[in-house]
Amino acid sequence: MLLQALLHPSKPDPYAGCTADVLLSGLAGTRLGATPGKRFRYSNLGAGLLGLALARRAGTEYETLITREICAPLGMTDTVVTVDGTRSERSAQGHARRGRPAAPWHLADLAGAGGLHSTATDLVAFVRAQLDGGPAELAEAIRLSRAVEHPTSSFAWVHLGWMAHRLHPRQGAHLQIWHNGGTGGFSSFVGFDPEKRLAVIALGNTRRPVDRPAFDLLRTLQAERAAEPN
């Protein structure tokens, strides 16, 4: 796999060498394992290449594109790729196993795979747009992101950028749309229910995934909302 060849797990910054030249050179020798659209496999490389392609199509850098097209309309002023100035002073310290400090990763031109740094406040604005439909300039994109749907099982599917499933009827049959992530010393989760209009955002500054407590909280909130009188 191209990404495995590029990745150096023993290094503290394993994706730093993923420049556009290296990515595109490796891509030229990559063979697809299935016909596009026929099978789903999660791919950090795919997400990173999509970010690179969109930025090149727009004639700009990935960070500039994200800021202009998404962050600015939503008022997300603290969501960036490059952390500098006062943001450096405010950034949380990541931790590896046993609480050891971990250096942040720099994903180079693979930034679309997880190179954004953000805050809980900005993520609230992002999720609120998913629940409310967003401002006029983003409404169609938000709608299309969930209109595209690829089933992965009888109760789960993927959208563009989102995973989704419906809980078993014994658990309330609630809808959960979510995505998680992790880099060196950090983990994250965003999940929401557009039917019950509620969401959970969890950010951790360790390598330990925050998925389980976040899902537990989301299920609890859904059950409480369902029990409320109409």
93-116: pLDDT as tens digits: 999 888 899 988 999 999 999 999
pLDDT at 10: 57
Looking at every residue in the chain, the average pLDDT score rounds to 93
pLDDT at 51: 97
Element (H, E) at 44: helix 44-58
In this prediction, residue 8 has a pLDDT band, given cuts at 50, 70 and 90, of low
Give pLDDT tens digits for 116-129: 999 999 999 999 99
Residues with Cβ within 8 Å of 206's Cβ and at least 6 positions away in sequence, in order, are: 94, 95, 96, 99, 185, 186, 187
In this prediction, residue 37 has a pLDDT band, given cuts at 50, 70 and 90, of confident
pLDDT at 227: 94
pLDDT at 98: 83
Q: How far apart are CA 65 and CA 51, in angstroms?
A: 9
User: Which residues are registered as beta bridge partners of 187?
Assistant: 182, 204
pLDDT at 1: 45
Is residue 71 within 8 Å of 79, Cβ to Cβ? yes
Q: Is residue 65 scored above 50 in pLDDT?
A: yes
Give pLDDT tens digits for 177-230: 999 999 989 999 999 999 999 999 999 999 899 999 999 999 999 999 999 997
Q: How far apart are CA 91 and CA 117, in angstroms?
A: 9
Q: What percent of the chain has pLDDT over 70?
A: 96
Q: How far apart are CA 154 and CA 41, in angstroms?
A: 17
Give the pairing of strands 198-204 and 186-193: antiparallel
Average confidence (pLDDT) over 80-99 = 92
In this prediction, residue 5 has a pLDDT band, given cuts at 50, 70 and 90, of very low
Q: What percent of the chain has pLDDT over 90?
A: 82
Q: What per-residue string of b and e applies to 79-94 under the rule 16 or more CB within 10 Å gives b?
A: bbbeeeeeeeeeeeeb
Residue type, 179: H
**What tokens were used for 139?**
């409404």
**What tokens were used for 177?**
């749309």
The residues spanned by each domain of the chain are 2-227
The CATH class, in words, for 2-227 is alpha beta
